[in-house]
Homo-oligomer: A and B are copies of this chain.
């Protein structure tokens, strides 16, 4: 995996670069939409490509349970199964095991759990998580880790971090001993843990840096902690992680979170927020958020977002979109999702431009102020 930084300025931590994978190049900072079950909710993959998303996420936990790894393996991997020929990143399954399933037992060997769908019993280990992601054919495979909740007791966080490190060693070993299944390269990203404790975060980041992986991730944030604490942890970790490798902050976040973390040196993001909030009628814009269900939009015939970059933004009015939500029409969710995803794309594209232009901080501060409003 080649990662080339385009700005060599030491002026600030924000970076822009290009990440190369077997399924194409990705300009960073990048936002990756979440395709939980092998589909970004309400989005035709052709539409995702048209608005120029370069990479999407799949959830190992969900895909393992349904349709099952074998169905996807027999299809020739996830890319073929879902008809998406650009890069795919998959998480390790760990996060959902801890948040969705009935958890039975965490041990050194792995995690026993029961499916949230039918109660069936399963076990994920570092090795099985790697094996499933191998079979999914992910371009970027995430290490199997324990994601601690917030708040988290110091000792629990410390022990859990060590467990995550031991699991990481097994993930690395399994990856070394196995080959990709579908002819394209698969890369493993280790994950920094350590809850909201700076010393643990630094220790974890150093451990992860020493593995010399092609890219590194930060997990266990955006799980309920106040944003300043998240930024503090990200800053501490970024100091330790190698500068020449991409840094992926998992599960983050709001448009403001994205910009603040880009400022700290993050290159990659994923989050269900733009898609999930869209389905609830919440639109992100450069001038703040809109709750389109609000009665005030009922006779507002102005475009959804006059400055928006998606074709829906000026094609439909707020009044119509509000009506679609009131009538519970699918099209409302589709329009809102396309708008939000296009907005996130625009935001990181602008960030890249301003980093190169050298005025990122000024622009970021202005945007953060602007976006922190309810319209």
Asked if residues A82 and B320 are in contact (CB atoms below 8 Å), the reply is: yes
* Interface residue? A327 (CB, 8 A): yes
Does more than half of chain A's interface fall in helix, strand or loop, or is it mixed? helix
Partner of A71, one of B311, B319, B331: B319
Interface members, chain A 313-359 (any B CB < 8 Å):
315-317, 319-320, 322-324, 326-327, 329-335
* Interface residue? A4 (CB, 8 A): no
Interface 1/0s, chain A 62-77, versus B by CB < 8 A? 1000110001001100
Query: Whole-angstrom distance between the alpha carbons of A317 and B74 in the complex?
Result: 12
Asked if residues A319 and B39 are in contact (CB atoms below 8 Å), the reply is: no
* Interface residue? A43 (CB, 8 A): yes
Residues of B within 8 A of A323 (CB): 37-38, 66-67, 71, 81
* Interface residue? A239 (CB, 8 A): no
* Interface residue? A289 (CB, 8 A): no
Protomer copies: 2
Asked if residues A39 and B333 are in contact (CB atoms below 8 Å), the reply is: no
Q: How large is the interface on A (under 10, 10 to 19, 20 to 34, 35 or more residues)?
A: 35 or more
Residues of B within 8 A of A38 (CB): 320, 323-324, 327
Asked if residues A41 and B320 are in contact (CB atoms below 8 Å), the reply is: no
* Interface residue? A298 (CB, 8 A): yes
Asked if residues B299 and A331 are in contact (CB atoms below 8 Å), the reply is: no
Query: Whole-angstrom distance between the alpha carbons of A326 and B37 in the complex?
Result: 10
Asked if residues A81 and B319 are in contact (CB atoms below 8 Å), the reply is: yes
Residues of B within 8 A of A71 (CB): 298-299, 319, 323
Interchain nearest-CB distance for A40 vs B (Å): 8
Asked if residues B315 and A39 are in contact (CB atoms below 8 Å), the reply is: no
Selected A-B contacts with CB under 8 Å, 30 pairs: A37-B323, A38-B320, A38-B323, A38-B324, A38-B327, A39-B329, A39-B330, A39-B332, A42-B331, A43-B331, A44-B331, A46-B311, A66-B326, A67-B319, A67-B322, A67-B327, A71-B298, A71-B299, A75-B301, A75-B317, A75-B319, A75-B320, A81-B320, A81-B323, A82-B320, A83-B315, A83-B316, A83-B320, A330-B330, A330-B333
